[in-house]
Amino acid sequence: MKVTLRIQRYNPERDSEPYYQEFIVEAGDEKERILDLLLQVKWKYDGTLTFRRSCAHGVCGSDGMRINGKNRLACSTLLRDVNYKKPIVIEPLPSIPIVKDLIVDMSDFYKKYEAVKPYLINNSPPPEHERYQSNEDAEKLFESAKCILCGCCTTSCPSSWSDENYIGPAALLKAYRFVFDTRDEAADERLDVVDTPDGAWRCHTIFNCVEACPKEINITWHISKLKKRLAEREM
Amino acid sequence: MIKHQYDVVIVGAGGAGLRAALEIPEGFSCAVLSKVFPTRSHTGAAQGGIGASLGNEEEDSWEWHMFDTVKGSDYLGDQDAIEIMAKDAVRAIIELEHMGMPFSRTPEGKIAQRRFGGHTRPENPDDPDSKRVAVKRSCYSADRTGHIMLHTLYENCIKQKVHFFSEYFVTDLVMSGKSCAGVVAMDIATSEIHVFHAKAVMLATGGYGRVFRITSNAHVGTGDGFSFVYNNGLPLQDMEFVQFHPTGLWKLGILISEAARGEGGILLNNKGERFMERYAPTVKDLAPRDMVSRAIITEIREGRGFKGSDGTSYVQLDVSHLPKEVLNDKLPEITGFARTYLGVEPTKEPIPIQPTAHYAMGGIPTTVDAEVTRDKKRTTVTGLYAAGEAACVSVHGSNRLGTNSLLDLIVFGRRGGKAIAKFIKDAEFAPLPEDAAERTIARIDTLMNSKGKEKVGALRTELQEKMMEKVGIFRNEKDLTEMTAEIKSLRERYKEVSIDDKGKVFNTDLMEALELGNLIETAEPIIHGALVRQESRGAHSREDFPNRDDKKWLKHTLIYKTDGKPKIDFKPVSITRFQPKERKY
C-alpha cells in the first residue's frame, strides 16, 4: 500500500527556515516501522534526508522525533500506531535547536543530564564481594535505569518549553535513579541540584513526559517521589 | 584540516572502549571518538547477561566456565586467553557492581544468576567427568543487561571526566612506518577532517552484522575497524566464523535473548515438537547457538518449519507456559518486542523466530593485552590495540557462548587500557606523516564529485542479500566461489557510487557511502576465510566438508588484503588444559 510522509525539512546551508515535503512510499503492511519508511525515502528517493538512527528497535534512543504531533521513536512506531490514511507528519523533536531536517542539537539535554551527577557516589571502601541490595530495592531502580536518553520526554514538556533553564524530566528521572539507590551516599548533593525553581519544583505534573516516553516509564511518578524526598528533607 | 595530539585515542564508545578509557591515568590525555553518542552504542542491545562463576545460585567454578567456553568454541579458542577471562570474570562483575550497575538480585541480596546456552556444571560436582547439566552463571539486569552496563560505564566516564568526541566518524588509521600514529576522522556535524596524532590507538569499533540482510545488529555495525586494519595491510583472524543467533524476530532479525530459553522457553516446529531434544539430548534448547541455528534451518529445510504469507520460513519460540512474573520481571523487554513488532502476545502464543546474524567471532588479532598483532608469530604493532567484538583474542574460537561477549568487553577492554597506560608512560609520539589524511580526503572527494550510477542503498542491499544466501549458516564451495567473484564486482561497482547530499552539515548520505565501503572490505575476508576452511567447526558449516578436521584445521586463519586474491596464513591455537574432544551436548 502507498503511504504519504509529510516531512519537515531544513538544511542550514540552503534554507532560511523549515518547510514540509511529501514523499509517497510503499509499505508492506501495518507493521512497517516509520523508521523503515524514512530509510526508504533516503535510500530510494532523496539521499539528503537526514535523521539519526542506530539499533532500530527502541534501545539506543537515536531516533526520537515528532510523529503526527507526538514525540516518539521512529523505530518503535508502526504504521498501525498512526492514522496512515492521511499524510503522516514527521518533524524534529520540538523546542530544541534544529541542526538539519530531523536532527536536533541535544547538547543542552546532555548537559542537564550530567548536572545531576549521574554516577554512583560511594566513598566507603567496597567489600570484596558485591554490595548487597534486595531485589526489591534493585527493581525500584530498573524503571528509571531503563531510560535511553532519547529526549522525547523533556522536549514534550510544557514546563521545558516555557523555561529553558528547567532541568527537565529526563535529568530528574536520572536523579531518582541515584538518589534512591541504596548503595549511593550522595543523595544530598543531587537533591541540592534539583531543589531549585528550575529543578523538580518546575514539574507541574502535566504528564506529557509519561505519554511521550517510548519505554513507558512513569516519569511523573518518579519525579513526585523526588519531590516527596525533598519535602521530607526540608522537615 | 584540524590536528590534535592525545596520548591515547580510543575509537568506539561501547563497552570495550569505555572500559579501556577508565584505565587511562590522570596526567595523560585521552580522547574517545564515536560515530554515535556513547549510549547509542550497540553494547546497549545486549540482553541476557554476563557470564561469571560467582556461584551465587548454585555451585560453580572458573574451570567449568573455562571448559564450557573452550568446548563452545569447538576447541578453536586460545586456552591461555580463555583461562584469563574465566578467572577474571568474577572480579570484573564485582567491579561493575561497585561502579553502580544495578543487577537483579537473589533473596539474600547477591547478584542473581540464570541459565544460558552452553554453560554447564558436572551433575556431580565431585566427579568432573559426570554428565554436564545447565548451570546458573549469567549475571543480569532483567533482560536489559547490555543497556544497563553501557550506561554504568558511560556514567563512570563522566565521573572521571573522559573527553569524548561524539559523532566523529573515524575513516582510517595513521600508520608511521610499522607503528600506529593516530587516526583520521570526520566531524559529522561539519564534515571537517581531523587528524588525531596519538601514542596509542585502540579500536573498539564493534562488529559487522550489517554485512548480512537479517541481523540483530544496529545500523552502525558496519565493520569499520576491520576495514581500517585490512586496508592497512594488517591481517584479520578467523573471519569465517560468523555467529547467527538462533532467535531473531522473524523477518526483522531483532534479538530475542537466549535468556528466554534460560528461563524455560522452548523451540517448536510445525508439528509442535520440541525439536532440540533430537539435536542436543542433554541440554536441549540450551545448546550453543551454532547448533541451535543449524537445527532450526534443518527443521525448515526438511519441511517442519512454518511458512509466512510472504514465503519466508520460521519456527516458534514458546514462553507462554512461563509464570507471568518471570515474563514481566525477567523478560520484559523481549516480550515487548514481540508485541510491538510482530503483534504477538507471548503470554498466550508462541513467537515466530529465525536465525539472525549476530556476532563476529573473528576480527583483529590481539594478544591477551589487546595489542594488535601482525603475523602468525604474534609480532605486535607498536601503538595499536583492539578490544571487544572488533578484536579476536581469541576467546570465542569458532562459536561464542552467550554472556561471554559482555564479559570479553570488560575483561579485555580493561587489560587493553592497562597495557596502554603502561605503554604511554615511556613511549614517544611516532612521527606523523604529512599525508596522513590524504586517502580519506581522496575517498570523500571521489564520493562527493561522483556522477556514477550506483546508489548506496541498492548496492548495500545486494551485498546483504548475497551474503545471506551464500555465506550464511550452511556454506559450500560453489556458493563461496561465486561470492568471491561477486565481491570483486561489488567492489568495482562501489567506485561508481554517487550520493545526493553535497552539503557539509550532517552529511549522512556521505557517511553511509563510506560505511558501505567498509562493509565491502569486511565481507571479502569473511568469504575467503570461509572458502579456505575445508571443514565444519562451530559456526562455520560446510555442506561439502561436514566434519571437524583437527588434523588439518585446528588452527587460526589470518587473512591479508592484496591487490588480487587475499593472502592466507595460519596461526597455531593455544591448547593448555583441554585436549580437543568430540563436541556433543
Q: Inspect the interface and report whether the beta carbons of A138 and B102 lie closer than 8 Å.
A: yes
Q: Omega of the bond prior to A107 within 30 degrees of 0, cis?
A: no
| Burial class of residue B230, CB neighbours in 10 A (0-12, 13-18, 19+) | buried
Mean pLDDT of chain B: 97
Say how far apart CA B182 and CA B395 lie, in whole Å.
27
Q: Are residues A20 and A55 in the same domain?
A: yes
Please identify which residue in the block is written with the cell numbers 539506543. A60
How far apart are alpha carbons A21 and A13 in whole angstroms? 17
pLDDT of res. A52: 98
CB contact under 8 A, B103 and A132: no
C-alpha A166/C-alpha A160 separation (Å) is 6
Q: Rounded to a whole number, what is the distance in Å from the CA of B226 to chain A's nearest CA? A: 19
A51 neighbourhood in chain B, CB within 8 Å: 508
Closest CA to B236 of B565, B572, B561, B538: B561
Q: Both A128 and A202 in a single domain? A: yes
Directed axis angle between helix B456-470 and helix B477-494, to 10°?
A: 170
Residue A136, domain extent = 107-234
pLDDT at position A37 over 90 = yes
Mean pLDDT of chain A: 97
pLDDT over threshold 90, residue B310: no
The pLDDT of A20-32, averaged and rounded, is 95
**Rounded Cα gap, residues B237 and B257, in angstroms:** 27
A99 and A37 housed in the same domain: yes
Q: Is the same domain home to A196 and A86? A: no
CA–CA dist B66, B44 (Å, integer): 25
Counted domains in chain A: 2
Sole residue written with cell 507471568: B324
CA distances, B11 to each of B43, B182, B206, B329 (Å): 14, 10, 10, 35
Q: What is the pLDDT of residues B90-101, one digit of tens each?
A: 999 999 999 999
The whole-number pLDDT of residue B55 equals 97
Residue B30 banded pLDDT, cuts 50, 70, 90: very high
Q: Mark yes or no for CB contact A119/B109 under 8 Å.
A: no
Last residue of a domain, one of A72, A104, A136: A104
3-class secondary structure, B374: coil
A9 and A92 assigned to the same domain: yes
Q: In terms of domains, do A214 and A117 share one?
A: yes
Judged by a CB distance cut-off of 8 A, whether residue B485 touches chain A is: no
What proportion of chain B, given as a percentage, has pLDDT over 70? 100
pLDDT at A193: 97
A62 and A160 both lie in a single domain: no
Q: Which of B53, B56, B108, B151 to mutate to test binding with chain A, by most A CBs within 10 Å of its CB?
A: B151
Let me know whether A85 and A153 are in one domain.
no
What is the CATH number for A69? 3.10.20.30
For residues A96 and A105, the answer to whether their CB atoms sit within 8 Å is yes
- What is the number of CB-based contacts under 8 A between chain A and chain B? 164
What CATH number has the domain bearing residue A163?
Answer: 1.10.1060.10
What pLDDT does A123 receive?
95
- Shared-domain flag, residues A133 and A153: yes
Q: Percent of chain B, pLDDT > 90?
A: 97
Name every chain B residue with its beta carbon within 8 A of the beta carbon of A110.
Answer: 37
Is B142 close to A142, i.e. CB distance below 8 A? yes
| Residue-level pLDDT at B119 | 96
Mean pLDDT (whole number) for A142-166: 97
Same domain, A95 and A144: no
Q: How far is A195 from chain B (nearest CA, A)?
A: 22
A146 and A52 in one domain? no
User: Which of these three, A104, A123, A145, is where a domain ends?
Assistant: A104
Binary contact (B501, A55; C-beta < 8 A): no
Instruction: Write the pLDDT tens digit of every residue in B52-68.
Output: 999 999 999 999 999 99
Distance of CA A109 to the CA centre of its chain: 9
What's the pLDDT at A227? 97
Residues of chain A neighbouring B44 (CB-CB closer than 8 A):
55, 59-60, 148
pLDDT at A234 over 90: no
Residue B129 reports pLDDT greater than 90: no
Give yes or no: residues A77 and A123 share one domain: no
Is residue B575 predicted with pLDDT exceeding 90? yes
B448 in A contact zone (CB under 8 Å): no
pLDDT band (50, 70, 90) for residue B582: very high
Q: What is the pLDDT of residues B137-156, one digit of tens each?
A: 999 999 999 999 999 999 99
pLDDT of residue B287: 93
DSSP sequence for B304-324: -SEE-TTS-EEEEEE-TTS-H
pLDDT-based confidence at residue A224 (cuts at 50, 70, 90): very high
Can you give the pLDDT at residue B309? 83
Query: Could you read off the pLDDT of B397-431 as tens digits, one per residue?
Result: 999 999 999 999 999 999 999 999 999 999 999 99
Domains of chain B with CATH codes: 254-356 (3.90.700.10), 438-548 (1.20.58.100)
- What are the backbone dihedrals phi and psi of residue A197, each rounded to the nearest 5 degrees, phi first? -60, -30
- Domain end point (choices A48, A75, A104): A104
- B326-378, pLDDT tens digit by residue? 999 899 999 999 999 999 999 999 999 999 999 999 999 999 999 999 999 99
Cα radius of gyration (chain B): 23
